[in-house]
Amino acid sequence: MEKKEIKNFVKKRYSEMAKAGVSCCPSCECGPSPIELGKTIGYSDEDLRNVPEVSNVGLGCGNPVALAALKEGDTVLDLGSGGGIDVFLASKRVGHKGKVIGIDMTEEMIKRAKSTAKKYGYKNVEFKMGEIENLPVEDNSVNVIISNCVINLSIDKEKVFREAYRVLKPGGKIMISDLVTEEELPEKIKKSFDAWAGCVAGALEKTEYLGTIRKAGFKRVKIVSESSYDMDISEELKGKITSVKVEAYKISK
């Protein structure tokens, strides 16, 4: 499998999701509704009431905003912002003095999120087209980076974390919800385009994932919470995929 082929397949799949407005592409068998899935992965009823319903396309494996301890005036960056649910949740936490930037490589997702922001009058959010391995964001400009089940889709995760480190202000932190594995995945899974788009094939083993974050320069790397992830995966993978919330800091020198 070529890296370009994987990226193009993932991009096409998420474009289909954006157009359909649901958590599966038109050719896929859909699972729970976005609201039901949101509650399952950590969004409260209040969270889901406080964002436009159209921003929730049922993607993700956690609620990074809930654990990010955002403050009024913070500048927040969401890696792989999708329909914008985490951007809109974060915007309420940082207030009018703060700002939330969403980055996504899928044009359709960006269009959808921008349209929602305009329709509902969000003034402190911005959505930019870009890849998380090459962020269109200035050095040392962000207080907090969040991401929800997106970094596992990247083929070059170390580059993602190095970019995250670059754009964070000294003292800034990341709060990432993502999927990791408890053991090496079967080769047929690693070579499955569907498994890549489903956030499984690209998942790293837990220790390797944490090591990759440290290698990028982050300190105080720790798993804040974790749970077994068994939704929409095959029987052979049950118990082998874990949803983790990881916190790490860019420490001032």
DSSP, res 205? B
Determine whether 224 is exposed, middle or buried from the number of CB atoms within 10 Å of its CB (0-12, 13-18, 19+): middle
In DSSP notation, 87-105 reads HHHHHHHH-TT-EEEEEES
pTM of the model: 0.87
pLDDT of residue 227: 86
d(CA 1, CA 79): 25
Domain count, the chain: 1
Three-state SS string over 130-185 comes to CECCECCCCCCCEEEEEEECCHHHCCCHHHHHHHHHHHEEEEEEEEEEEEEECCCC
pLDDT tens, the chain, 253 aa long:
577 888 887 888 878 877 776 544 333 444 555 555 555 556 666 766 777 677 766 566 667 787 788 999 999 999 999 889 999 999 999 999 999 999 999 999 999 999 999 999 999 999 999 999 999 999 999 999 999 989 998 889 999 999 999 999 999 999 999 999 988 887 888 877 777 777 787 889 999 999 999 999 999 999 999 988 766 666 777 778 888 999 999 997 6
E strand segments, 17-98: 75-79
Pick the closest to residue 251 from 216, 224, 223, 225 (CA basis). Answer: 216
pLDDT of residue 233: 62
In degrees and rounded to multiples of 5, residue 3 shows phi and psi of: -60, -40
Task: Find the domain containing 51 and state its range.
Answer: 3-249
The CATH number covering residue 82 comes to 3.40.50.150
